[in-house]
A and B are shown apart, each in its own frame.
Chain A
Amino acid sequence: MSPSLFLSLLVNGVAMGMVYALLGMGLILLVRAVGILNFAQGDLMMFGAYICACLLLDFELPLYLLIPIAFIWFALLGVIFMFTIYWPLRKATYSQATIIATMGASIILQEVAKIIWGSQPRSMPHLVLNSEGDPAVLQIGSASLQWQYLIIIAVGALIIFLITQLFEKLYVGKMMQAACQDSYAANLLGVPSILTICATYIIVAIVCGICGYLVAPVFMVRSTLGTLQLRAFAGVVIGGFGSIKGAVIGCLLVGIVESFSTMAFSGYKDVTVFLLLIIFLVFRPTGLFKGKIGDKA
């Protein structure tokens, strides 16, 4: 394999891995907040992408307006999602019931997107374009790396850094962790649990929305964009569920493996990724990194 091909595949893989990591990070935050897996995570991203497409293409907003307005819409999405899906089920006895409810939410999000914006995929321009209006490319030797991928990697890394700082260093983050880990005790101490859980959902929705905006130019905005979440799930599981760090590393791994196996057997790249997942789990049933909490799974 030529070094330039290797570099291309690597960059592609890391970029996609970042996308999965952003989704996966949100997944972990929600697992900690409500203890269930959000099977609508990818669809939150998809909806966010549609919102951005709408603001960019239909309203033709410049970037400095698009970002704050989009954030507001993402936050709204997060709040609605929390109160319709999480809130009624917070005391559910059947843990599978909550998982299936999020599957229902996934369908609802896809259908609503179709109803509002139609079922035709929309194409979003790359963030950086060259003089001819084509996606800009960085040339390293004979490798052509799309700037979009590099931006995804940079922005993704920044967001992951900020979120980890928030949750693990700042006072507010510790309150949110506390509310997530034991909302009963947190309530008794005076932590406004509903508020913090709501805040967690808002943050997750914003991260998903940004992720959607980043990935839209690559995949086109369509209602099935959410299926990317399955790779994020794989990454989170491989990473061990316990920490954001594990989820990020697991997802990057998945992204890279997927990229290189597309080269090797394009149609079967799913097989490689998920076979890796299964083999991995068989030999390390609790994932790469042990969770913070003894045997949480």
Chain B
Amino acid sequence: MIKISNLHAYYGTIEALKGINMEIRKGQITCLIGSNGAGKSTLLKSISGACNRSGSIMYKDNADISNLSPQKVARLGITHVPEGRHVFPGLTVKENLEVGTINWHGFFGRKPYQKEMEEVFALFPRLKERENQLSWSLSGGEQQMLAIGRALMSHPEVLLLDEPSMGLAPLVIAELFEKIVEINKEWGLTILLVEQNAKLAMKTADYTYVLERGNITVEGPSAEVRSNDMVIKSYLGKFANTK
């Protein structure tokens, strides 16, 4: 679905990504793990257009998105859920979801979005309960659900999730990741998942990339990567695969 070749990304003069080659396959959950500062968020920003990058990013084999602005990328069906949730604090849950439709609804459009909203509420019933609550007052988990739900309102084909588990309690994370799997399997969305929680990410994803200081060091189906010695040592801990 998305083919990345020789991607370099920059923050000012600092090179955060040093020539990445990746492929995000349609219908799969691909995950990207790595320690802090490895460049994971930068990778997502490179795809969605939120940072300086050079190289080739091909979408669906026919669209070159390596130079597009975030708005144009979103319009093509790739929605980026940034790390830290970024809900619109002064808007209610319902209004947050409404903003997600800007892509296809148009500024002054009249297309209805009832159906989409009901689907999101079905997926996240907790949001339905709080539909008229201002989103700054939601808990972290609820805000994360809202951020993802909002992204789903934009008719995406690809979802870029940046560290959805950050700052959440383990039970909430478990629930959230069940929903992520549901979005992939039932809704048919391709997902690129960036996570610090390597164990959880590899359990959920079909394919894994390991990013270290701007370079991909290991890649492969998640099961293989999980048993890779180096990965175990760096990211999973000695006893990761034991009971």
Contact = CB atoms under 8 A, between A and B. Distances in A.
A26 B231 CA distance: 55
A189 B91 contact: no
Interface string A173-184: 011011001101
Given A187-B71, A190-B71, A191-B99, A292 B134 contact: yes
B88 A177 contact: yes
Interface of B: 48, 50, 70-71, 74-75, 79-82, 86-91, 95-96, 98-100, 102-103, 105, 107-108, 134, 136-137, 147, 150-151, 154
Interface residues of A, number: 21
25 contacts: A32-B90, A175-B99, A175-B107, A177-B90, A177-B91, A178-B88, A178-B96, A181-B90, A182-B87, A184-B50, A185-B82, A185-B147, A186-B88, A187-B70, A188-B80, A188-B82, A189-B150, A189-B154, A190-B70, A190-B71, A190-B154, A191-B102, A292-B89, A293-B134, A294-B136
B144 to A, nearest CB: 13
B74 A293 contact: no
A186 B90 CA distance: 13
Contact of B50 (A32, A188, A191, A293): A188
B102 A190 contact: yes
A189 B151 contact: yes
A294 B91 contact: no
B150 A188 contact: no
Contacts of B88: 177-178, 181-182, 185-186
Given A185-B87, A187-B50, A190-B74, 15 more contacts: A174-B91, A177-B90, A178-B91, A178-B96, A181-B88, A182-B87, A188-B48, A188-B50, A188-B70, A188-B74, A189-B99, A189-B151, A190-B102, A190-B103, A294-B137
Nearest to A292: B90
A192 interface: yes
Contacts of B134: 292-293
Contacts of B90: 32, 177, 181, 292-293
Nearest to B108: A172
